[in-house]
Structure 1
């Protein structure tokens, strides 16, 4: 299998706001405010490059930000294939962290909502062994149509396809059955426990894997501090624990997991080694603030 991976997903600027106390409606509250690059697709691409994978990242950003983002991704070892949008700014995610550590999110996907077929030319698949698509790309009509066309071309070429569902909130909004119809058959699914339960329609892990395995050749379920499981239509085939570490920030942990797993897969490693590498990536990601490797 070619070691090159094509990632399709969102580019976001993450703005993290940590107020010193409860918000005061109509007045001020001191806060720590930081911003850093983010977006599920962007995170996956950067983690893959950090793992030594040759990775292309296709996305859409505001035209005024395009050169900046291209330089950023090249500096992180990613080959950017970014379209510029003259109408919409780049996406922004605001995270509000209360004093107890609970997080709330405000999302403006911006230019990501205009991803089009012209941004995802079939030639992007040349020399690619696997296409990794963020589920966010299916939740708006334009990007969904563009991604579906790219995936049809990938299937025709025999290129492996991996899907990350990305958001239980959006899955609940559109319905898991509709989402699965939009995605179609794929070789890999990387889901967390909540996503797997929603998509598979079962609370039992073995039943989730058996159900999802009918559509996806291999299903990986990320279980947080409990590690991860791998299976197919026969149910669970492999389950590994995660080491106990102090979690500082879970942002991007699932992206780091997928990247670690896929990097090992591209190297021809066994599924057990891939699962171990995925867990190692996720564990590393939760030990610092931010969704991309430091």
Structure 2
């Protein structure tokens, strides 16, 4: 059985801002500013490559950047299949971190918004065991049409589909019912606590898992520093705690978790070990600046 994972999602350049203190309206604040490769789907793919998984990444970048991004992904163990956009530049994300490592985002998705069905041909699914879809690909009509079409073709081939909702804010904007409709038939959801609440309503974790299990066979809720839970229609079956680590930057921690979990899941590892693999990767991610392993 193939163990190849196909990731579809955004390619971004992350501009990470670490202010020395609170922002000063209309004036200056000293800060450390760093630039790193990013994008939720790209983060997952690079983490999968770093963990030794067989991984293909499909996305869209500005035409001037495709050669650079191809080389970048290839060097990190990822097979890239990137469409080149002649109209839009590659996406950029500005991340502003606070003293606790939490972040706020300013997003210009650029070329990612032009992802089209022709960028995701049938051959992409050959030899694939799991299709991992970043929710960012579903929040705008163009890429959504391309990705939902690919998901339908994956279901027809009995390929497992994993959904990372990606953004509680965008879920609230488009509506939970719409998002759940777009992802109907997927096998697995990997949601963080905010996304789980945005999709279901209640803050109670058991209620979230049961509600999400009406749409997905397996439900994983990432609970940040406290660990993660896994369950189904019967509620939470498994819970694992996260190790205590110093958080430098939480950007990409959820993507790293997804990569660790999916690699283990794709290999047929038991659910407890999958949770532990995801948590270990997430803990590694928060120890460094940026959404991808150095």
Distance 1:236 1:98, change over 3 A: closer
1:16 positional shift: 1.3
Task: Mark the runs of 5 or more structure 1 residues left unpaired by the alignment.
Answer: none
Equivalence map 1:49-128=2 (5 Å): 49-97=49-97, 103-128=103-128
Give the distance between the partners of 1:103 and 1:117, measured in 2 at CA: 33
Distance 1:93 1:207, change over 3 A: same
Per the TM alignment, residue 159 of structure 1 is displaced from its structure 2 partner at its CA by 0.3
Name which of structure 1's ranges 23-32 and 190-199 shifts more when overlaid on structure 2. 23-32
Q: CA RMSD in A?
A: 1.5
The aligned runs of 1:87-236 (5 Å cut-off) are 87-97=87-97, 103-236=103-236
Please identify, of 209-218 and 156-165, the stretch whose mean Cα deviation from structure 2 is larger.
Answer: 209-218
Alpha carbons of 1:27 and 1:231: their partners in 2 closer, same or farther (altered >3 Å)? closer
SS at match of 2:208: helix
Structure 1 residues 237 and 99: CA distance shift in structure 2, 3 A: closer
For residues 269 and 37 of structure 1, the distance between their equivalents in structure 2, rounded to whole angstroms, comes to: 30
Displacement, 1:206?
Answer: 1.4
Q: Does 1:251 align with 2:273?
A: no
TM-score of the two chains, using structure 2 as the length reference: 0.96
Give the length in aligned residue pairs: 294
**Structure 2, unpaired ranges of 5+:** none
Q: For the Cα contact (< 8 Å) 2:250–2:285, is it kept in 1?
A: yes
SS in 2 for 1:185: coil
| Residues 50 and 76, structure 2, Cα contact 8 Å, conserved in 1 | yes
Q: Deviations over 1:211-269 (max 9, x none)?
A: 11111010000011211100011111111111111111111100110110111112221
Write the distance in 2 (CA, Å) between the matches of 1:267 and 1:99: 38
Change beyond 3 A, Cα 1:281–1:186: same
Q: Secondary structure at the match of 2:178?
A: helix
**Cross-structure match for 2:267:** 267
Structure 1 residues 20 and 274, CA, compared in 2 at 3 Å: closer, same or farther? closer
Task: Give the distance between the partners of 2:208 and 2:229, measured in 1 at CA.
Answer: 11
Aligned to 1:238: 238
Query: What is the distance in 2 between the residues matched to 1:98 and 1:263?
Result: 31
Partner Cα separation in structure 1 for residue 269 and residue 102 of structure 2: 38
Q: Quick one: structure 1 residues 225 and 103, their matched pair in 2 at CA, closer, same or farther if it must change by over 3 Å?
A: closer
SS of the aligned residue for 2:15 comes to: strand
Distance 2:241 2:178 in 1: 32
Report the secondary structure of 2:217's partner residue: strand
- Closer/same/farther in 2, CA of residues 102 and 268 from structure 1, 3 Å limit: closer
CA deviations 1:123-158 (Å, max 9, x no partner) are 100000000000000000010000011000000000
